[in-house]
Amino acid sequence: KQEVTQIPAALSVPEGENLVLNCSFTDSAIYNLQWFRQDPGKGLTSLLLIQSSQREQTSGRLNASLDKSSGRSTLYIAASQPGDSATYLCAVALSGAGSYQLTFGKGTKLSVIP
Amino acid sequence: NAGVTQTPKFRVLKTGQSMTLLCAQDMNHEYMYWYRQDPGMGLRLIHYSVGEGTTAKGEVPDGYNVSRLKKQNFLLGLESAAPSQTSVYFCASSSGYTQHFGDGTRLSIL
């Protein structure tokens, strides 16, 4: 059974700092990995999707990397802002018939202090 | 530009009562999903659908039923609510691999 772990569970940084969020998964036979953002009382918003054949994806100040062989992904946030404060979740889709089903980590709660 | 709309947003039930949660999407997506989110457990897939008239079990399907009679709607039913079903329920839809989420239904079972 695929398990997804996110460390740390919570992170507090001063505004302007660059930071890295970590995600690890136990089964390397993944189809893709996604990073989501969740604001309090809201649903999830997709940030980046990395296919298993890719090494990284970038969107603005966000960069996600994937090392499938080691079962790890990182989300890099450059020049953090208070508006980045949220919970960040990673999720993996397994290869094969279940490739639309996602297994989520428990998330990292990020606080960016002005 | 509604996206994914969940109804109701909040509900309190007594043990043994039944109810239906409604999810509606206006993006013409084929795939729809129901998740529950619990503290310390993360999001877990309850049921999903790959098209109108189809449903399939996810990771935690027991105690729930679903129906997808229309492409735009995905219903989640609780036949006899139990306190263990107290949770935040999220619906999502997708046409490819990026899932779009609603804002959730907060359900408490007393």
| pLDDT, chain A, mean | 93
Strands, E assignment, chain A: 4-7, 10-14, 19-25, 30-38, 44-51, 56-59, 62-67, 72-77, 86-94, 102-104, 108-113
Q: Do A49 and B48 touch (CB under 8 A)?
A: no
Q: What is the pLDDT of residues B35-91, one digit of tens each?
A: 999 988 889 999 999 999 999 999 899 999 999 999 999 999 999 999 999 999 999
Given this model, what pLDDT does residue B2 score? Answer: 75
- Contact at CB, A49 and B97, closer than 8 angstroms: yes
A31 has a chain B CB within 8 A of its CB: yes
pLDDT for the residue numbered A94 = 79
Dihedral angle, C-alpha B40, A85, A74, A44, nearest 10 °: 60
Predicted confidence (pLDDT) per residue in A27-83, tens digit: 988 889 999 999 998 999 999 999 999 999 999 999 999 999 999 999 999 999 999
Instruction: Return phi, psi of residue B85, to 5°.
Output: -95, 5
B44·A104 Cβ contact <8 A: yes
